[in-house]
Amino acid sequence: MTPADPTSSSAPTPLLVCDRIERSFGGLKALKSVSIAIHPGQIFGLVGPNGSGKTTMVNAITGFYPPDAGQVRFAGRDLRGLKPHRIARLGIARTFQNLALFRGMSVLDNILVGRHLHMRPGALPALFYPFWARPAEIRHRAVVEEVIDFLQLQDVRDQPVEVIPLGLQKRVELARALAAEPRLLILDEPMAGMNQEEKEYMARFILDARDAFGTAVLLIEHHMDVVTALTDRLLVLTYGEPIAEGDPHEVIARPAVVAAYLGKGRSRAA
């Protein structure tokens, strides 16, 4: 552990701060005063039963459904009013609960899409292509090649993405997100539908990505074995409300959390 241990919630400056986020859909309060602080290099777990507000929280952070109240700060910057692509450009990449890959495109091209945030199309770069745009393109390709090596996707790089197994498709989504060189990676159920071996691979890649690039991770996941193995800190939501937060092993044993998962009402943890 380093002096400013990123896995500790007491590390000095959080990368992401969500302060008392509220979000409603019509009469439904999907998020009720939810706060999160994630530090650089930390893997932060967000769990809760179906419909508890996890994806809504991700959408509040990434600007897809801006909060009705509360504040999101990333790297010291207030994200209020920013469009999703601007937020992404600040260094937040996400994967989706349901795969959002481009069918008909190769694995390589799908991963290249992750670089588009860093591309600056325009007449001027095109005019001075050999001097200006070409070096940028070489750099984009180099980053993508590095990610392909890192996630061991060499064997399928030229295949149409829809023909490879689901576990590998999920890995391609992770690759596309990593290709953006994010400071915060948001993974919405990255192991859904995977077999045990695929889950173990994905878990290893998430840990390796954090270790290699120092990326902070917000992980939404239903598999509790994965959550306790990977996360440094855990927040549990039920009906849009935080009911427990802290050390993952300790949190999942709390009676309120057990009750929430067993559907035995909405008792609160201290």
**Cβ closer to ligand ATP: 55 or 169?**
55
In the complex, what is the shortest distance from the CB of residue 82 to ligand ATP, in angstroms, rounded to a whole number?
19
Please, what is the minimum distance in Å from the beta carbon of residue 59 to ligand ATP?
A: 7
Say how far apart CA 34 and CA 240 lie, in whole Å: 8
Assigned token pair, 106: 């190769």
Q: Whole-angstrom Cα distance, residue 223 to residue 233? A: 15
Give the residue among 112, 118, 201 at the shortest CA–CA distance from 157. 112
| Alpha-carbon gap, residue 244 to 254, rounded angstroms | 8
Shortest Cβ 198–ligand ATP spacing (Å) = 20
Number of neighbouring beta carbons within 10 Å of residue 190 = 27
Residue 111 vs 189, nearer CB to ligand ATP: 189
Nearer to ligand ATP, 9 or 97 (CB): 97
- What does the binding site for ligand ATP look like in residue numbers (CB under 6 A)? 25, 28, 30, 48, 50-56, 97
To ligand ATP, the closest distance from the beta carbon of 77 in angstroms equals 24
Task: Give least dist CB 189 to ligand ATP, A.
Answer: 7
Question: Which residue number, 111 or 257, has a Cβ lying nearer to ligand ATP?
Answer: 257
Provide the CB-side half-sphere exposure for 70 (13 A, CA).
22
d(CA 57, CA 29): 12
Asked if 41 contacts 216 with a C-beta cutoff of 8 angstroms, the reply is yes
Q: How far is the CB of 1 from ligand ATP (least distance, A)?
A: 32
| C-beta of 54 vs 171, nearer to ligand ATP | 54
- Look at phi and psi of residue 80 and say left if phi exceeds 0, alpha if psi is from -120 to 50, else beta: beta
Q: Considering beta carbons, is residue 56 or 62 the nearer one to ligand ATP? A: 56
State both tokens at 171: 């890995």
